Amino acid sequence: MLGQFYSDNDEKFNVVILAGGLGTRMGTASDYIPKALTRIGSQRAIDLMISKFLLIANRFVVGTGWHADLLESYIKGRYPNLPVTFSREDVAEMENNGTSLLYALDQVDSRRGTIVSFCDLLMLSNPMIGGSAIYLAVPETKGVIGTFRHSVTVRDKTVERIEPLDSPKRVPDEIDNGVIGFFVFHNTILLKEIAYSMARLHKLTDITTDIVSRYVEIEKTGAVPVDALLEFGDETDLMKARAAWESY
């Protein structure tokens, strides 16, 4: 059983799922459908993700772009009562994941915390969701683990600093604390202030580099290792994730 996330004090969150990428690394798997609609076992990736968040989501915001009509129609048809909005980007104008998050933040409730996850990452463990946190792949993490562009220095289970890597590396072979695409921002007002200010300066290119690294300097942010996950950012890892899911 996949299980669901739960939160301390029964807190409800904005849940942002970024699913607007072009899927260029997915090969033929995303020729005709967006990455979020690829199958993992008998289900679509987006179904597995939504099911994880149902207990703690106040609302969903799904960032769409490539094949947006397909993904939006699928979600509306399958979940007619789900509190969901879409932040659609014009494919011809898509820039980077930082800009994708910027569009999505227009739809979130500033009074609640915000969870941000990429659509090609499925956490198999079920940690308690609470205060601000960065979730990490560590040498003990099981599952299918992709490449990482940032690592974290941790002190007393708290993020001390985020370090961009010179080149993408893999966990657990080369780094200890790899940043996965799953973040909890308890202070949504601060999150928005950082994202919007970086956009005004034309310096918004990457979520971790330009937003999260600044957020952790101001807001105490936990470092949470993940027991098991499936990351399927490219065609090879998608095949591995499907195989791992069958034996999970």
Give tens-digit pLDDT for 103-152: 999 999 999 999 999 999 999 988 889 899 999 999 999 999 988 999 99
Domains in the chain, please, with CATH?
Answer: 6-247 (3.90.550.10)
Q: Is the pLDDT of residue 24 over 60?
A: no
Q: Is the pLDDT of residue 160 over 70?
A: yes
Q: Is the pLDDT of residue 223 over 50?
A: yes
Q: CA angle, 33 as apex, 169 and 98 as ends, to 5°?
A: 45
Q: Among the ranges 13-22, 33-42, 69-78, 239-248, which has the highest mean pLDDT value?
A: 69-78
Task: Tell me the whole-structure pTM to 2 decimals.
Answer: 0.93
Q: Say if CB 177 and CB 152 are below 8 A apart.
A: yes
Mean residue pLDDT across the chain: 91
How far is residue 246's CA from residue 115's CA, in Å, rounded to a whole number? 28
